[in-house]
Amino acid sequence: MSHATGLRSLAARDLAASAPHGFDEFEIRAARASTQAARHRHIAMAATCGALGVVILAATLGLRLRSAGVVPAHDFAAVDVAGAATAAESWFAASSQDPVVVSAATYASITVLEDRIAWIDDRLNESRVLGGVPRETAALDGERERLLRTLAYVRRADALTAEFN
């Protein structure tokens, strides 16, 4: 079979086969896809505007509350970040109010640290109740203190940047 004969047989098969849809159907589908894409763009724009409005409202409300003296400023003099874990815990208790507007990355870091500290607390409680290995308990205590200092650093940096904004 020569090359030309093969091309002719393929062309004959294409002419014999019917198209799955007519051109009108393709136009209808394209218009429908265009309408759906426009609807999705409008929904995304409305959600973005709504979220931006909430952020602006929260920031304005936070500034008004802070300027009115309702939200107390953080007292960092009471915290020795490089000191013991008890100092960090007392500072956390004194500054337990979260800011109105937070950075997503900072919030995620704080959440991970707090979750890890809570997990270590659970392990320490379990170890103390069941009479765990003292070496493991000491290691968990050390890790907990290190995480508390790290959390104090992150929170302090976050609060300092919030006061500059």
Provide the domain count of the chain. Answer: 2
- Co-location of 42 and 92 in the same domain: no
Which pLDDT belongs to residue 63?
59
Which pLDDT belongs to residue 10?
77
Of the candidates 149, 152, 127, the one whose C-alpha atom is nearest the C-alpha of residue 138 is 127
Listed residues 53, 71, 89: the one ending a domain: 71
For 10-67, how does the pLDDT look when each residue is reduced to its tens digit (9 = 90+)?
777 776 666 677 778 888 988 999 899 888 888 888 888 888 777 777 777 665 655 5
**151 neighbors 113 (Cβ within 8 angstroms):** yes
- The boundaries of the domain holding residue 14 are 1-71
Residue with tokens 């004194």: 94
For the chain, how long is the longest CA-to-CA vector? 93
- Co-location of 52 and 89 in the same domain: no
Q: Where are the beta strands (DSSP E) in 37-107?
A: none
Listed residues 71, 94, 113: the one ending a domain: 71
- Co-location of 79 and 160 in the same domain: yes
3-state helix, strand, coil in the chain (%, to 5): 75, 0, 25
Which residues have CB under 8 Å from 63's CB, separation 6+? none
- Co-location of 62 and 78 in the same domain: no
Using a pLDDT cut of 90, give the percent of the chain over it: 7
For 65-86, how does the pLDDT look when each residue is reduced to its tens digit (9 = 90+)?
555 554 444 444 444 444 555 6
- Co-location of 132 and 57 in the same domain: no
